[in-house]
Amino acid sequence: MSRQMLSQILNSRGIAIYLITYLLLLVTAPGKASVIEIMGGFSPIGSTGLKVISIMRWNLCVMPPVIVSILFMSLELGKLSCYTVIRTKSISHWFVMRYICVVLSGIVYLLCFMLVTTALGYNVGCGIESVCVFMLVFSVHITLVSTISVTLLITSRSHRVALLSFFAIDGGMVVVGSMFPSASKYILPFWGMANNEGFLFLNNYLYLLTTVGISILLLALFAVAALKWLRANNPAANPQNI
């Protein structure tokens, strides 16, 4: 993977999106809340009514790496593909290199926010085990949602479809889980929330391993589906890109 490719996904636009999100999250955080409290979502168990603010904050936390991934892949699938695909060994190699960039962009997003909040003294009371659980479930979730959005972008060539998939998952599904709290532990977005009822007790490793395992399986299936589509529909051969 070249430095140039990484700079294409973490360009000035992507960095600006991340920085604006960090600022919004910190400004709206109650006091000096830890990174787990800020990005860890919420638990609908024991609450009444729809947690509109919590749902909006959760979408704000997850959206930036998804948006950056969609913008990056839409550029790579456009006229640029006529040059980049030809220069690579195969369409598989072309896709894998760009998919790694998508995964890394989400990890960089999370790690940078962790560093920023730690430097500002937000994470003083966080235990190592809690932080590890948070980073695992959140990073897997944003990677999964980015993978689904990118796959739908590749197959449909529509930004609208890719964005709708995000709002359907982290918007619609979260609303359903909030309305039916007992079902939330079975709904995909809540698997990425460290503050979800299933993760509140760290000795519940069966739930952790099950949800993370299913999420990884899903993202692998979507990535394979995207690769198979590209093999059958080479973007460099698309008349719109020539």
The string of pLDDT tens digits covering residues 131-190 is 998 999 999 999 999 999 999 999 998 999 999 999 999 999 999 999 988 888 889 999
Q: How far apart are CA 143 and CA 123, in angstroms?
A: 24
* 3-class SS of residue 31: coil
Q: How many CB atoms lie within 10 A of CB 226?
A: 21
What is the number of residues in the chain? 242
Task: Read off the DSSP letter of residue 171.
Answer: I
Local confidence band at 201 (pLDDT 50, 70, 90 cut-offs): very low
pTM of the model: 0.91
Contacts of 193 (CB under 8 A, 6+ apart): 40, 41, 42, 43, 58, 137, 138, 199
State both tokens at 131.
Answer: 């932080």
**Look-up of token digits 């959140």:** 138
CB 169 within 8 A of CB 189: yes
Residue 239 reports pLDDT greater than 70: no
Q: How far apart are CA 162 and CA 50, in angstroms?
A: 26
Q: Is 119 exposed, middle or buried (0-12, 13-18, 19+ CB in 10 A)?
A: exposed
